[in-house]
Amino acid sequence: MKEDDEMVTLPLFGGCACGQVRYRLDALPGDTGYCHCRTCQRCAAAPAVPWAMVPAQALHYLSGDVGIFRSSAHGERRFCRDCGTYLEYREQGYAEIGLSSVTLDHPEWFPPQKHIWFASRVPWFEPADDLPRFDQGE
Ligand SMILES: [Zn+2]
Ligand SMILES: [Zn+2]
């Protein structure tokens, strides 16, 4: 993911805006991207959400009050109950979580590599990159 790997050491850490929620990540993120779906937009109050796929077993919450919002029959979003930071998306039956990668202490290590659900992009938000763009999930 990051080309200059000498600075990246496990575990990784991250957390929410108010600092109550902290987590430890024991694996390097895999796939990364921006999600432009309407649910992510609303959860984050932002035009797109940068995410990184991580093994569910590798993500450990260390502190804070993590809330769960069931956004569909099979999907849920987790957030800090104190400040509202949108932390992750997970889906029943999947071993990986879509972590909101900006909540990592070093989001610069894991740049997004594509855009998904680009069909629901907010029209005034035009990314200035040449990453692949997928109308739906990929
Ligand atoms: Zn918080
Ligand atoms: Zn989304």
Q: State percent of the chain over pLDDT 70.
A: 96
Answer yes or no: is 71 within a domain.
yes
**Cα 38 to ligand 2 centre (Å):** 7
Q: Work out whether strand 96-100 and strand 75-80 pair parallel, antiparallel, or are unpaired.
A: unpaired
Q: How many other CB atoms sit within 10 Å of the CB of residue 81?
A: 16
Distance from residue 112's CA to the centre of ligand 1 (Å): 24
Q: What is the mean pLDDT of residues 97-111?
A: 97
- Can you tell me the distance from the alpha carbon of 98 to that of 25, in angstroms, rounded to the nearest whole number? 13
Summary mean pLDDT of the chain: 94
Q: Is the pLDDT of residue 5 over 60?
A: no
Domain assignment present for residue 135? The answer is no
CA atoms within 13 A on the CB side of 31: 13
- DSSP code, position 34: E
Instruction: Please check the confidence at residue 7 and state whether its pLDDT lies above 90.
Output: no
> Amino acid identity of 92?
Q
CB atoms within 10 A of CB 11: 11
Structural domain includes residue 102 = yes
What is the 64 CA–ligand 1 centroid distance (Å)?
A: 7
Separation between Cα atoms, residue 13 and residue 37, nearest integer Å: 26
Residue 24 has what pLDDT?
Answer: 98
Q: Is residue 30 part of a domain?
A: yes
Which numbered ligand comes closest to the C-alpha of 50? 2
Query: What distance in Å separates the CA atoms of residue 13 and residue 119, rounded to the nearest whole number?
Result: 32
Residue 45: inside a domain, yes or no? yes
User: Mean pLDDT across the stretch 88-105?
Assistant: 96
> Residue 108's domain spans which residues?
12-120
Domain count, the chain: 1
Query: Is 133 part of any domain?
Result: no
| Residue 1 located in a structural domain | no
> E strands of the chain, at which residues?
12-15, 22-25, 32-35, 49-55, 59-63, 66-70, 75-80, 86-91, 96-100, 115-116
**Residue 40 belongs to a domain with what CATH number?**
2.170.150.70
In a domain, 7, yes or no: no
Residue 69 has pLDDT above 90, yes or no: yes
* pLDDT score, position 2: 55
Tokens representing 129 are 């990159």
How far is ligand 2, taken at its centre, from the CA of residue 6, in Å?
Answer: 31
* Total length of the chain: 138
Could you write out the DSSP letters of every residue in 3-31? S-GGG--SSEEEE-SSSS-EEEE-S---S
Q: Which protein residues have a CB closer than 5 Å to ligand 1 (ion)?
A: 16, 18, 20, 80, 82-83
- Residue 4 has a pLDDT of 58
